[in-house]
Structure 1
């Protein structure tokens, strides 16, 4: 076998071992994009027998030509998704709790069902994670770690052991944050983490709060299974802080199927989308 097999050939013509010059390779990328609605760098690299770096360069050039829109790990057709709406101010906890409450309660029940078999559970701040608490009170085997004082109070006297990160307190959210809180949870490893977000777009996960963002990132880094809760009103919405990429998520629990364009991106990122209240149906 040639030493060049599986590598890009030398020289400036942009030819890979599959024999495709750069223009033909780009045409193949656009054909697949038109047929599938999304393309993934890794899969294109295997199919076209060139490096992932070559595919990324092709995507950069195609985007510059206005032929596609790059996302993390791949690309979408131009204008496949509308621009994300920007939420500049965080509503109060009480008003967020009332918003989409029926859907959030269904999401919370599904998320509680998913985490029930795990022993160490990290619960993020947020209204939907808070609504999980009635479903978690009987988990005698579990240890629950959180930076939400509301969640800790709601589980007071319940079966699980509750661990709260110490630090500064955000008054309305009743969450702890800051270097002390991060330092307390960073060395730990959780079986599963449940993350609340203010929005999901192809660019990743968003939240309003700079203060809460770093512990969300700790949960994403330090958990074996990462579950994001997002009611359907938050699809294609972004806010101040990008807390992580879609590729960091294992499961997304929502109350209605995502728009087809976003669903394609979630699938390309390897995310298992669960629709709450639909007999464990998946998108």
Structure 2
């Protein structure tokens, strides 16, 4: 029989992936010995497994980082994707960088026809290829093992030959100065995507607001639209408004459905 504490441990592991005994004890406000006892019961029941000094859900161990990120804030990302998909019609052209929110957008576009899509994301290309008469152009180069994305000089050279209606990037971090990322190559690719679009859009769930990344992608003046699930904090909202960028709140848009 699983106890309430067992349920709390499983929820933490589902939301955050594998955790150490110490981290679980701190989250639950109990001793490490208590956590070890509860983990022993979960492991014996087949609900959890021990791995590298930590414990994780049995079904998630070995899960790719990208798949794990797809589960994080999934409801918010899905709402953002649906809100943006409403602005994209049959026959439109768009360029998407790699990211979980842009992958959600690809799934929200499965009922569109004759799209022209340029991307460096294997997940996006695989989602939209071979359906509804779409044309998919996949940037080449070495694929990242963690995200299935092609990055580097070859990918950058490839996309610079396109002009699309919608240039859409995801954000790793957003503060009062603009959009940032934590990876140099991903930031370079996102910046190149924006340069190819007639309308430049960033999609981000609210967890990215207030973060500071290592690499600047663009100031708000380089964007037309920002789509999120919650309003930005006042300082960021003021910077966005000063740049003349339109903010769409996906949750509010969905409530009227």
- Same fold flag (TM > 0.5): yes
Distance 1:243 1:234 in 2: 14
CA shift for structure 1 position 279: 2.7
Equivalent in the alignment of 2:80 = 107
**SS of the residue 2:143 aligns to:** strand
- Which one has the largest radius of gyration? 1
1:98-144 per-position Cα deviation (integer Å, ceiling 9, x unaligned): 22111111001111112336621001110010011222123223201
In structure 1, the gaps of 5 or more residues are: 1-90
Partner deviation per Cα, 1:4-25 (whole Å, 9 max, x = no partner): xxxxxxxxxxxxxxxxxxxxxx
Structure 2 gap ranges (5+):
1-63
Contact 1:250 / 1:271 at 8 angstroms: preserved in 2?
A: yes
For 1:205 and 1:99, how far apart are their aligned partners in 2?
A: 20
Q: Is the CA contact (8 Å cut-off) linking 1:166 and 1:176 kept in structure 2?
A: yes
Paired residue for 1:80? none
Shift of 1:266: 0.7
> Which ranges of 4 or more aligned residues in structure 1 deviate by more than 4 Å?
none
SS of 1:111's equivalent?
helix
Distance 1:272 1:280, change over 3 A: farther
The 8 Å contact of residues 143 and 150 in structure 2, kept in 1 or not, is answered as yes
Q: 1:272 to 1:195 in 2, by over 3 A?
A: same
In 2, the alpha carbon distance for the partners of 1:266 and 1:225 equals 16
Distance in 1 (CA, whole Å) between partners of 2:251 and 2:131 is: 26
- Alignment match of 1:234 (pick from 200, 204, 208): 208
1:129 aligns with 2:102: yes
Q: Give the number of equivalent residue pairs.
A: 191
On the 8 A contact 1:253/1:273 being kept in 2, the answer is yes
1:242 Cα deviation after fit: 1.0
Match of 2:242 in 1: 268
Aligned residues: CA RMSD: 1.8
Partners of 1:117 and 1:205 in 2: CA distance:
29
Q: How many Å apart are 1:187 and its aligned residue?
A: 2.2
Shift of 1:165: 0.5
Residue 196 of structure 1: how far off its partner (Å): 0.5
The Cα shift of 1:280 comes to 7.0
Q: Select 1:153's aligned residue among 126, 139, 144.
A: 126
User: Could you say what secondary structure the match of 1:168 adopts?
Assistant: coil
Provide TM-score, normalisation by structure 1.
0.64
Contact 1:175 1:212 in 2 (8 A): no
Contact 2:98 2:121 in 1 (8 A): yes
| TM-score with structure 2 setting the length | 0.70
Is the CA contact 1:227–1:251 (under 8 Å) kept in the aligned structure 2?
yes
Q: Following the alignment from structure 2 to structure 1, what is the Cα–Cα distance between the partners of residues 254 and 197?
A: 23
SS of corresponding position for 2:165: strand
Instruction: Give the number of the structure whose residues are more often helix, by fraction.
Output: 2
Q: Deviation string for 1:50-85 (max 9, x for gaps)?
A: xxxxxxxxxxxxxxxxxxxxxxxxxxxxxxxxxxxx
Structure 2 SS opposite 1:115 = coil
